[in-house]
Amino acid sequence: MAYTDLREFVDALEKHKELKRVPFEVDPVLEITEFADRSVKSGGPALLFEKPKGSTIPVLINAFASERRMQIALEVDSVDDVARRISEFLEMRMPEGLLGKLKMLPKLAEMGAFFPKIVSSGPCKDVIRREDFSLDYFPILKCWPEDGGRFVTLPMVFSKNPDTGKRNCGCYRLQVFDERTTGMHWQTHKQGAEHYRRMRARGETKRMDVAVAIGADPATMYSAILPLPPDLDEMMIAGFLRQKPVEMVKCETVDIEVPAQAEIVLEGHVELGELRREGPFGDHTGFYSLEDDYPVFHVTCVTHRKNPIYATTIVGPPPMEDFYMGKAIERIFLPLMRLQLPEVRDIAMPAEGIFHNLILVAIRKSYPGHARKVMHAIWGLGQAMFSKCIVVVDEDVDVQNTSEVAWKALNNIDPERDIQFVMGPVDSLDHASRLANYGSKMGVDATRKWPEEGFTRPWPGVIKMSEEVRRRVDEMWKRAGLK
Ligand SMILES: Cc1cc2nc3c(=O)[nH]c(=O)nc-3n(C[C@H](O)[C@H](O)[C@H](O)COP(=O)(O)O)c2cc1C
Ligand SMILES: [Mn+2]
């Protein structure tokens, strides 16, 4: 049964002993970060701070911050189950004959059940504040000592493509500038930034409507970070994940819809052309993102539930909560990647690589230069374009085992021959690239080299003891009193 809202998810976490309430006062300035960081690094629970200093609204953090919590969030025993459901849909073809077509009906009906549903009202409208509101009312974290201020870190930012009218929802942090204004940190490659650019290019209006929802059922919250193709509605994917449509409700002051069950909604607009210094911010690279100019979000109305919960996260030196969210993305998106690249057997993004710095790819190699084809395909695949280092190995290497990859890949390469550099877009958070958003990337072909690739020396096998000897020693091992 799909979670209706954030509260039901909190209850589920509590039932599974995955949540700890902190009943005394803790400061959202730095102290909550220290709690959350220690908890995630020690395999601790999600935390619900009931008395954040300076606010009456409780703070939920680390709700997705373990493999188990991601399973609870998506209501599966393994996130591979989600991947499996996606694969089934992808394999769905119109079958031959009437009987086959009839058998398809339930699947098609299931698909129809994913589309978001507009409803006339919802709990996010329990309290509507058109005049009397201030962002100071919320327990917004200052995450790290050198941060430029307080940041909303887990928002669902809704905007519309001015050309197609299609909705987008992305998680872009908001730096609080004052009671009613924040930064709007959509990086240049993201959909919010694209909507903004298109709107500016049209030159018809000076304002872009934006609405920010904070806290909802977990699948809806999670959909905001998914690297979906442009114009694919995150709310539809949320419906697929929770197997129930997301109920959407119109905003009071802007032409945008938000999840009706959201805890908090900030309605407002971005003034086209207005930029303001944003940052620094202790980012998910584990370094501070430097200050930069970003659009400004003007809040014009706040709506919220009775007794709202403020959902947030922190990013910083890995692994943090976003690592577990990203790990699930890796699993869920593998079948989609394999649509284009069926030779890919598995991929892994180890925590130290912060997603964009390192992707390990195992392929079934079929022709000369195959590893390089896969690298280029990944650099051309949505947000995977940011991959700073792609290491391609043969399918017998377990990419989930980073140490095995390091061992085998480092043995297998002749660096000058097997490492390839390309120029292209890089993640906005890359602090080492020569220019912001533009720099070099590296592909490592760590597959076994073929004669057809000009390698004519013999290639050695990996050392392995014979099964027969292993069995003999199993028995002698015990006889020798070894454990
Ligand atoms: C905790 C967290 C914070 C994030 N903050 C930002 C951010 O401030 N700016 C940004 O562009 N992307 C940020 N992202 C990544 C985007 O949410 C992600 O790239 C998403 O796919 C963007 O959606 P879009 O393709 O619809 O633009 C963040 C992700 C997470 C998990
Ligand atoms: Mn999107």
Q: Please spell the DSSP secondary structure of 153-183, one letter per residue.
A: -S-EEEEE-TTT--EEEE---EEEEETTEEE
User: Does the N-terminal peptide bond of residue 145 adopt cis geometry, omega within 30 degrees of 0?
Assistant: no
How high is the pLDDT of residue 462?
A: 95
| Closest alpha carbon to 59 in 50, 72, 68, 67 | 50
Q: Looking at the CA of residue 313, tell me the nearest atom of ligand 1.
A: 1
Tell how far the Cα of 231 is from the centroid of ligand 1, in angstroms: 16
Q: Which atom of ligand 1 is nearest to the CA of 173?
A: 8
Other CB atoms within 10 A of residue 179 CB: 11
Virtual torsion, Cα 159, 227, 90, 70, nearest 10 deg? -100
**Chain-centre distance for alpha carbon 312:** 14
Taking the centre of ligand 2 as the mean of its atom positions, its distance from the CA of residue 465, in whole angstroms, is 50
Best of 191, 225, 323 to mutate for ligand 1, by most ligand atoms within 8 A of CB?
225
Rounded to the nearest angstrom, the distance between the alpha carbon of 228 and the centre of ligand 2 is 5
Q: In ligand 1, which atom is closest to the CA atom of 192?
A: 27
Return the ligand 1 atom nearest residue 171 CA: 17
Question: CB of 313 closer than 6 A to ligand 1?
Answer: yes
Is 392 exposed, middle or buried (CB count within 10 Å of its CB: 0-12, 13-18, 19+)? buried
Query: In this structure, what token pair is assigned to residue 453?
Result: 């690739």
Ligand 1 atom closest to Cα of residue 315? 1
Question: How many Å lie between the centroid of ligand 1 and the Cα of residue 252?
Answer: 26
320 lines ligand 1 (CB under 6 A): no
Are the CB atoms for 325 and 64 separated by under 8 Å? yes
Backbone CA torsion sign across 329, 242, 5, 211: positive
Q: Round to whole Å and give the CA distance between 124 and 286.
A: 34
Which residues are found with C-beta within 5 Å of the ion, ligand 2? 168, 191, 228
Strand 117-118 and strand 247-250: the pairing is parallel
- At residue 110, the pLDDT reads 73
Q: Which residues contact 332 (CB under 8 A, 6 or more apart)?
A: 79, 82, 83, 86, 226
Q: How far apart are CA 368 and CA 346, in angstroms?
A: 20
Q: Is the CB of 171 under 6 A from ligand 1?
A: yes
Strand (E) or helix (H) holding 125 = none
Active-site hit among 37, 217, 233, 283: 283
Sign for the CA dihedral angle at 164, 165, 166, 172 comes to: positive
183 lines ligand 1 (CB under 6 A): no
Q: What is the pLDDT of residue 94?
A: 62
Of the CA atoms within 13 Å of residue 76, those in its CB half-sphere come to: 20
Ligand 1 contact via 321 beta carbon (within 6 Å)? no
DSSP string, 252-319: SSSS-EEETT-SEEEEEEEEEEEEEEE--EE-TTSSEEPPEEEEEEEEEEEEE-SS--EEE----SSS
Count, residues in the chain: 483
Ligand at shortest distance from the CA of 284? 1
Instruction: Identify whether 322 is a catalytic site residue.
Output: no
CA atoms of 118 and 156, how far apart (whole Å): 17
Decide whether any atom of ligand 1 lies within 6 Å of the 227 Cβ. Answer: yes
CA of 403 to the centre of ligand 1 (A): 29
Q: What is the CA(395)–ligand 2 centre distance, in A?
A: 32
Q: Six-digit token pair at 317?
A: 């030196």
Distance 170 CA to ligand 1 centre (A): 6
Nearest CA residue ID for atom 18, ligand 1: 225
Pocket test for ligand 1, best of 175, 176, 190, 322 (most atoms within 8 A of CB): 190
Output the pLDDT for position 104: 72
Nearest ligand, CA 316: 1
| Both structure tokens of 33 | 């970060």
Task: Give me Rg for the CA atoms of the chain.
Answer: 25
Q: Whose CA is nearest to atom 12 of ligand 1?
A: 172
Ligand nearest to the CA of 311: 1
Task: Give the DSSP per-residue string, 402-467.
Answer: HHHHHHHHHHH--HHHHEEEEEEE--TT-SSSSBTTEEEEEEEE-SPP-GGGT--S--PPPP---H
What is the C-alpha separation between 280 and 287, in angstroms, rounded?
A: 10
* pLDDT at res. 95: 67
In tens digits, the chain (483 residues) has pLDDT values of: 899 999 999 999 999 999 999 999 999 999 999 999 999 999 999 999 999 999 999 999 999 999 999 999 999 999 999 999 988 888 876 666 777 777 777 776 777 779 999 999 999 999 999 999 999 999 999 999 999 999 999 999 999 999 999 999 999 999 999 999 999 999 999 999 999 999 999 998 899 999 999 999 999 999 999 999 999 999 999 999 999 999 999 999 999 999 999 999 999 999 999 999 999 999 999 999 999 999 999 999 999 999 999 999 999 999 999 999 999 999 999 999 999 999 999 999 999 999 999 999 999 999 999 999 999 999 999 999 999 999 999 999 999 999 999 999 999 999 999 999 999 999 999 999 999 999 999 999 999 999 999 999 999 999 999 999 999 999 999 999 998
CB 303 within 8 A of CB 267: yes
